[in-house]
Each structure stands twice: as C-alpha cells, then as structure tokens.
Amino acid sequence: MRHQRVTEVFRGLALRFGFGEIATPIFEFSEVFKRTLGETSDVVTKEMYSFTDRGGEEITLRPENTAGIARAFISGGLSQHLPLKFFASGPMFRYERPQKGRLRQFHQLDVEIIGVAEPLADIEVIALGDQLLRDLAVDHLTTLELNSLGDRDSRAAHRAALVEYFSGHRDALSADSRQRLESNPLRILDSKDPGDRRLIADAPEMGDYLNAGSADFFAAVRAGLDSLGIAYTVNPRLVRGLDYYTHTAFEFTTTALGAQGAVIAGGRYDGLIETMGGPPTPGIGWAAGIERLAMLIAEPPEVRRLIAVIPTDAEAMRDALVLTHALRQSGFTVDLGYRGNVAKRMKRANKLGARAAVILGEDERAIGAVTLRNLDTGEQESVPLPELNDRLAAHR
C-alpha cells in the first residue's frame, strides 16, 4: 500500500506540474549506459546487469532512467518539440549488496525537463520534489542540499585544482581514489574511505572557481527557491562526477534510513544529450527511490471497503454473478466468493473487511429484492433490487 501510495501521489503531482508520462524499455543497449554513466564508474564496472542476447548484442537491464529518456529523445527526433517535460516510474536493476533502502531490483520515480537552459527549470523540478515530500507528509524528515557545479570552464578550473591538491597527497589516498585521480578526480569527493575523508575536508571547493555566469545562475536558482519558501542548505561537497553535469546539483536527504540518506537526487546535465550523439540540448531532472520514500511514510488507511455478494443456494449463483457485474459497472468494489455455504462466505467477507453483504436466496428472488446486511453493526433489511445502488451509495 505504501509503495502504491508513493506512486499515485507522484503521478498526480507530476500531471499538475504539466509533465507528460513516458515509459522507457526495461533493457537498453549497454552502450547507452556506458557512455552516460562513464566506463570507469562503479555502476558500469560493478553494478550493471549486462548480457549478450541471441543476436550477439550486449544489452543491460536499466540501472536508471535518464539515459533511456535521453536516448528516446534522440532516436525519436524530439528536438523539434522543445521544451519537453517528462515523468516516469518503474523498476531499475543494480548488482549491489542488499541492505535497508538498497535493493538489486528497486523502483524509481523520475522527472526531466529537456530544452530549457534557464534557472527556472531548476527551480521547477526542485519545487516538484519538495511538494512530493510535503504531499507524502515526510518533508519534516528531509533536508534539501544544494550546490553549483558551474559551467564547463568553471568545472575545468576546479578539476585542475583538485588534481594539483590530491596529487600532493597521492600516497595517502586509497587505491580507488588514486585510480580516480587519473580518470575522474571529482569522484574522489564521494569516497567513504576515512583517510580520503580527512583529505577531502581541506580540498578546493567548487564555489571558489565559479565564473561570473555560473555564480549568477546559482544565485538565480537560490532566489527562486527563496521566493517559493523552499528551505535548503548549500553543501559545497555535493558533486556529480561526470563532465556533462553542469550548474545545479541537489539532494533531498534524511537521517531516518541509516546509511541510505538520499531520497531524491538530481541535477542539471546540459552536456548529456550531446555526449550521446544528439544536438546540444540542456536538461535537468531528478530520481527518487520509491522504496526509500515508502519506508518514510505511514501505512495509508484502506480507502475502499468492499461489498460481498452472497448467494444462499446454487440456484442463486447466476443471479449473484449478474448482480456482482452490475454493481462493479456502477463503481462499487465487490467480491463474489467462488464456493462454500453462507457461513463460509460470511466468514470470508469478514476476513476481507467487507462493509456490507448483499444476500440472495429463494425468498429474495420471489419478491425481487435482496437482503442487505451492514457488517459493522449487524443490522439488515430487505431492499428492492431497483433501490440497491442508492442504498449502497454510503458504502462506496
């Protein structure tokens, strides 16, 4: 129920924000993810479920949604329809050590705005995430962390500063971080190694390398969030390791799930579509773990209690089937047991939490009526069939 609640609230909210639904394939050509996630990333080298199909193609179960949406944008020739606003949800797959909030098959929500270079898109997707947490009544459990990665020139300057700094401490770095120093020094900032963390504390911060344009962009995003009353904390260590990420990076984090603190994570990826062979196209979006959000919310109340249709003899079964179908067509939630005497059918109705029972038997058929029993109070009455829908209206 909680999983369903998260998905339903998200879908309704995304539609209100003017996003259209998109569905990407469960598997894609492996190259889609290798090019977008990076050949040396942990996802590609350690976590992707990849295999060769019967045609000799290497394919991968999707570990995330953004790359598939970008591929669909390019292959579908959608650049003539910009701007585009998409939302999606569904299962993802990563080979990881299962733990609380981290599963090998997990489910994500996803939103993307493609074709908008202005800060307004950043503000809108963050506002959608903030409203989702509010609608799920878990906003008090989360904190929005925000940072700017700058444009390409700013990132290049910061990267050079990181290489210089960490090269001076190469011997103190973990083996993984020494490798990252050569391939992608920004990813050192994500290291959980205690020795690396001590070095990271004094590493150059991105904010010191933002050029004027990047600083203005970040200021506009912050001003927009301030105007909407969305609180945030600037986290200068929040980064995205791949070069196609620019400007805004953000996460909604929580301390209620142990080590798995991020429930929504996103950022601007102005270079992604170009990296995949498409035209230069700005984009921004986020993904949220449904299981993680579901663990934060309370179990929702049962919104519908059903009505049980109970025939008292074999001759009444056909009439019960016809009545059940008619009630369902009228919008009622109805259960028709498949076998058993009246006592067993009543026991099943109570087990299912039914609100009312509609009983049909020989006596009822003779007068064109049914016996309607309120299963909460035990009261029952004879109701003519033409009046049944009206009498059941309170039980919808």
* Cα distance between residue 224 and residue 122, in whole Å: 9
Q: What is the mean pLDDT of the chain?
A: 89
Instruction: Assess whether pLDDT exceeds 90 at residue 175.
Output: no
Q: Domain 2-151+211-296, what fold?
A: BirA Bifunctional Protein; domain 2 (3.30.930)
| In 26-104, beta strands by DSSP E | 27-29, 50-52, 58-61, 84-93
Backbone angles phi, psi at 136, to 5 degrees: -85, -5
Confidence of residue 301 (pLDDT cuts 50, 70, 90): low
* Maximum separation of any 2 CA atoms in the chain, in Å: 95
Question: Bigger pLDDT: 225 or 376?
Answer: 225
pLDDT at 304: 67
Q: What is the pLDDT of residue 363?
A: 87
Q: What is the pLDDT of residue 11?
A: 96
3-state helix, strand, coil in the chain (%, to 5): 45, 25, 30
Mean pLDDT value across residues 252-280: 89
How would residue 260 be classed by pLDDT, with cut points 50, 70 and 90? low
Q: Which residues pair with 29 in a beta bridge?
A: 59
Topology (CATH) of 307-395: Rossmann fold (3.40.50)
| Most confident segment among 109-118, 165-174, 296-305 | 109-118
pLDDT given for residue 240 in this prediction:
81
Alpha-carbon gap, residue 203 to 210, rounded angstroms = 16
Cα 124 to Cα 283: distance, rounded to the nearest angstrom: 12
pLDDT of residue 171: 86
What is the pLDDT averaged over residues 222-236?
Answer: 96
Phi, psi angles (nearest 5°) of residue 132: -60, -45
The residues facing 357 across adjacent strands are 308, 373
Give 242's contacts (C-beta < 8 A, 6+ positions apart). 36, 37, 38, 41, 184
Identify the weakest region by mean pLDDT among 13-22, 174-183, 205-214, 227-236. 174-183
| Lowest mean per-residue pLDDT among 75-79, 100-104, 364-368, 372-376 | 100-104
- Stated as kind and residue range, the H or E segment containing 313 is none
Per-residue pLDDT, 395: 67
pLDDT in tens, 110-155: 999 999 999 999 999 999 999 999 999 999 999 999 999 999 899 8
How far is residue 337's CA from residue 395's CA, in Å, rounded to a whole number?
A: 19
For the chain, the domains span 2-151+211-296, 307-395
pLDDT at 187: 81
**pLDDT tens digit string along 188-198?**
887 888 888 89
Q: Quick one: what percent of the chain has pLDDT higher than 70? A: 94
Quick one: residue 137, left, alpha or beta (phi over 0 = left, psi -120 to 50 = alpha)? Answer: left
**pLDDT the model gives residue 37:** 75
Number of C-beta neighbours around residue 2 at 10 A: 17
Q: What is the enclosing helix (H) or strand (E) of 386?
A: none
Question: Residue 57: which region, alpha, beta or left (left: phi > 0; alpha: psi -120 to 50)?
Answer: beta
Instruction: Give the residue-averaged pLDDT of 16-41.
Output: 85
Q: Residue 199 corresponds to which tokens in the numbers above?
A: 């070095």
pLDDT of 101 > 60? The answer is no
Q: What is the pLDDT of residue 252?
A: 97
Strands 84-93 and 105-114: antiparallel
Identity of the residue numbered 199: L
Cα torsion angle, 224, 228, 229, 232, sign:
negative
What's the whole-model pTM score? 0.82
The percent of residues in the chain predicted with pLDDT above 90, rounded, is 53
Q: At what angle do helices 119-135 and 212-227 cross, to 10 degrees?
A: 30
